[in-house]
């Protein structure tokens, strides 16, 4: 069952890449890529974890990712204000990518550091 779930996440990511590069629908492609990466990382990170440890990791990763997402959003807004990011859609996609993927990174960090 784990293999099928990972395969579905890979197919979702591949579909997102094809939308992003070949069909010209960058927003839909970005959503599909982020969904596929989140799906794969959840199945890989939390497979075989007991409930108490999983809950503790999710809470700690949620707190850390919330703080980082506030900082990341502020940085992108400052970059947009000074003209480094000139398209509002690109700024929105950078904010979305940072906020979605930081939870996966923090969850991986807490899985490796907490006993």
Higher-scoring residue by pLDDT: 81, 4: 81
Q: Which residue has the higher pLDDT, 32 or 74?
A: 74
**Cα(6)–Cα(36) distance, integer angstroms:** 9
The pLDDT value recorded for residue 111 is: 85
User: Taken in order 95, 96, 101, 102, is the CA torsion positive or negative?
Assistant: positive
Asked if residue 38 lies in contact with residue 100, where contact means CB atoms within 8 angstroms, the answer is: yes
Average pLDDT over residues 30-43: 83
Helix axes 2-18, 26-45, angle to 10 degrees: 160
Which pLDDT does position 68 carry in this prediction?
92
Task: Give me the helices (H) in the chain, please.
Answer: 2-18, 26-45, 51-81, 88-113
User: 10: which 2 tokens?
Assistant: 């890979």
How far apart (Å, rounded) are the C-alpha atoms in residues 59 and 105?
14
Of the chain, the percentage scoring pLDDT greater than 90 comes to: 14
Q: What is the pTM of this model?
A: 0.71
CA dihedral 62, 67, 72, 77 (to 10 degrees): 120
- 64 pLDDT higher than 70: yes
Paired tokens of 37: 């990466």
Q: What is the mean pLDDT of residues 91-100?
A: 86
Whether 1 shows a pLDDT value over 70: the answer reads no
């Amino acid at each position: 069952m784990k293999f099928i779930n990972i395969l579905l996440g890979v197919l979702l990511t591949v579909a997102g890449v094809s939308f992003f590069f070949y069909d010209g629908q960058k927003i839909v492609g970005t959503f599909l890529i982020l969904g596929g990466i989140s799906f794969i990382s959840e199945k890989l990170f939390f497979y075989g974890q007991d409930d108490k440890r999983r809950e503790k990791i999710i809470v700690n990763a949620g707190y850390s990712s919330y703080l980082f997402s506030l900082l990341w959003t502020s940085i992108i807004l400052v970059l947009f204000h000074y003209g480094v990011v000139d398209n509002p859609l690109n700024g929105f996609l950078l904010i979305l990518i940072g906020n979605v993927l930081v939870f996966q990174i923090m969850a991986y960090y807490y899985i490796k550091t907490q006993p």
